[in-house]
Amino acid sequence: KVVSNLPTKTAVRSCGFSYGGNIAMYTTDKTMGQPSEIHIYDLRDSNSIANADPLMVMPAGDSKITASIWGPLDEFIITGHENGALRQWDFKSGDLVHQVKDHNKQINDIQTSKDKTMVITASKDCTAKLFDTATLKHMKTYRTERPVNSASISPLMDHVVLGGGQEAMDVTTTSSRIGKFDARFYHLIFEEEFGRVKGHFGPINSLAFHPDGKSYSSGGEDGFVRCHQFDSPYFEFDFEVQ
């Protein structure tokens, strides 16, 4: 059942509920003469929802938002941008608090660790990067040979999984072996790749670990969602630095 409708002047690129569940935000595209913005609604205010009158609108700056996520305890919002910038916005004042530009191409995805102290970003520059949530300090980099569309941090192990592949428009001209459509596992701390899971015959667009850390799922351009259960040797894996 549709509870309410919030019309926008341009496409919505990302959205999310706050940690407390009372605040919702979405981001709009910079197109058709409209700026890229962050719109925030208090779900407890029925008049605001009914009249599509947001609690706050924050201009996103010169580059459109391509990914966003709430920080812990409703304190701030983190946005990823088309130019590779990662920005942190104070929720109460709407001010830009931190900004870093460690990626040189578009950020496709942002996900947090289980305790929300770290965020991982996936980018078209063929890397995923780990940042401190509070300061946006860059901590780790995971490198591949193809654009990274999604990255996720295991809630159970010191592992991250990356997925991506070449641009969708080029997929039909190459085989899946060349396309690098595997889900790739890296050690969170050592940044070394230690495993790959095949299956998709198109780029992976979205990845997520199960909250218990015992399985993960991947959604691909091929129209399939693949759910993988880890077997027991995975949890006994002892990583050795080469």
Q: How many domains does the chain have?
A: 2
Question: Are 229 and 134 part of one and the same domain?
Answer: yes
Question: What letters, b where the CB count within 10 A reaches 16 and e where it falls short, cover 184-210?
Answer: bbbbbeeeeeeeebeebbbbbbbbbbb
Q: Is the pLDDT of residue 167 over 90?
A: no
Question: Are 3 and 95 part of one and the same domain?
Answer: yes
Question: Are 3 and 73 part of one and the same domain?
Answer: yes
Supply the CATH number for residue 4's domain.
2.40.128.630
Q: Tokens for 56, please give them.
A: 């706050």
pLDDT tens digits for range 23-65: 999 999 999 899 999 999 999 999 999 999 999 999 998 899 9
Q: Does residue 127 lie within any of the structural domains? A: yes
Question: Are 83 and 143 part of one and the same domain?
Answer: no
Q: Does residue 108 lie within any of the structural domains? A: no
Question: Are 152 and 55 part of one and the same domain?
Answer: no
pTM: 0.91
The pLDDT of residue 177 is 53
Taking alpha carbons only, the member of 123, 30, 14 closest to residue 69 is 14
Question: Are 126 and 231 part of one and the same domain?
Answer: yes
Q: Does residue 131 lie within any of the structural domains? A: yes
pLDDT tens digits for range 172-227: 665 555 557 999 999 999 999 999 999 999 999 999 999 999 999 999 999 999 99
Question: Are 66 and 7 part of one and the same domain?
Answer: yes
- H/E element, 161: strand 159-164
Q: Tokens for 224, please give them.
A: 């399939």
Q: Is the pLDDT of residue 166 over 90?
A: no
Q: Does residue 106 lie within any of the structural domains? A: no
When pLDDT is averaged across residues 70-87 and rounded to a whole number, the result is 96
Residue 222 in 3-state DSSP? coil
Q: In degrees rounded to 5, what are phi and psi of residue 171?
A: -60, -40
Question: Are 95 and 129 part of one and the same domain?
Answer: no
Question: Are 3 and 97 part of one and the same domain?
Answer: yes
Q: Does residue 111 lie within any of the structural domains? A: no
Question: Are 135 and 235 part of one and the same domain?
Answer: yes
Taking alpha carbons only, the member of 23, 26, 7, 134 closest to residue 71 is 134
Question: Are 132 and 204 part of one and the same domain?
Answer: yes
Question: Are 86 and 137 part of one and the same domain?
Answer: no
Residue span of the structural domain in which 184 resides: 122-241
Quote the DSSP letter at residue 223.
Answer: S
Calculate the CA dihedral of residues 221, 225, 231, 237 and round it to 10 degrees.
40
Supply the CATH number for residue 155's domain.
2.130.10.10
Q: How far apart are CA 203 and CA 82, in angstroms?
A: 19
Q: In degrees rounded to 5, what are phi and psi of residue 49?
A: -70, -45
Q: Is the pLDDT of residue 82 over 70?
A: yes
